[in-house]
Amino acid sequence: MIFLVPLAILVLIALWLMGMYNRLVSLKNQTQNGWRQIDVQLKRRHDLIPNLVNTVKGVMEFEKGTLTAVMDARAKAMGAAGPADASQKEGELSQALGRLLAVAENYPQLKSNENVKMLQEELSATENKIGFARQFYNDIATKFNIARETFPTNLFANAFGFSAAELFQIQDAADRQVPTVDLTMSKS
């Protein structure tokens, strides 16, 4: 009967290993899903931008430079090669959009136009969603990394093939700068 004790201990260890493995699998999948959600929101933004530019083009005839910059940045972002490149191009698109929305504040006709207000809401909501998708990705990736690195799980995590998740971070130092806005009314 005495062999039951080490047997029970082995069973408990096996159960614990199973639980730990399953938890890591769940967190890893949630992390991957979180990453893909960012792409979903980025694509939504690509789809929304042509609408916005068309709606404001008529009123903001002095801002051709700003409008073209947005469309160019969008094209570049859609054609990006690989995640690092995409991250940089999307950052540039965010900056171009930021400049456009800031400059649009100068046009009272735009402020009272309901279509524009709705579009601005959709655009700023999309920017928010991109931000929150990145925030969620970092949160879940951190949870995964913590689970991976905590003792005693860390003894087995690498053996089971769970490598650390990379957190989303700003690649281009220029993204950290607040976008500058040129409010002069020059025909550019």
Partner 1 sequence: MNLLEQQAANRRRTWLVMALFVLVFVIIGFGVDAFIIGDLQSSMPIATIAALAIGGGRAWWSLRYGDRAVLGSASAEPIDDRLARATTDDERLRYRQLQNVVEEMAIAAGIPAPKLYVIPDSDPNAFATGPDPAHASIAVTDGLLSTLNREELQGVVAHEMGHIRNLDIRLMMVVAALVGAILLLADWSGRALRFGGRGSSRGRDRSNGGAGAAGLVLFAIWIVAIILAPMIGQLLALAVSRRREYQADATGAELTRNPMALADALEKIEDAVEPTPAIKRGTAHLCIADPLGKEAEDGEGAWARMWSTHPPMARRIAALKEMALMPQNPTIPTAGR
Closer of 76 and 138 to partner 1 (Cβ)? 138
Rule CB under 8 A: say whether 121 interacts with partner 1. yes
What is the rounded distance in angstroms from the CA atom of residue 101 to the CA atom of residue 59? Answer: 13
Residue with tokens 């969008």: 74
Rule CB under 8 A: say whether 136 interacts with partner 1. yes
User: Exposed/middle/buried for 11, CB within 10 Å: 0-12, 13-18, 19+?
Assistant: exposed
Rule CB under 8 A: say whether 109 interacts with partner 1. no
Helical residues (DSSP H) of the chain, grouped into ranges? 4-57, 64-78, 82-104, 108-112, 114-149, 154-157
Which residue of 122, 171, 172, 179 would you call a contact of partner 1, by CB under 8 A?
Answer: 122
Site for partner 1 in 36-55 (CB under 8 A): 37, 41
Q: What are the residues binding partner 1 (CB under 8 A)?
A: 30, 34, 37, 41, 114, 117-118, 121-122, 125, 128-129, 132-133, 135-136, 139-140
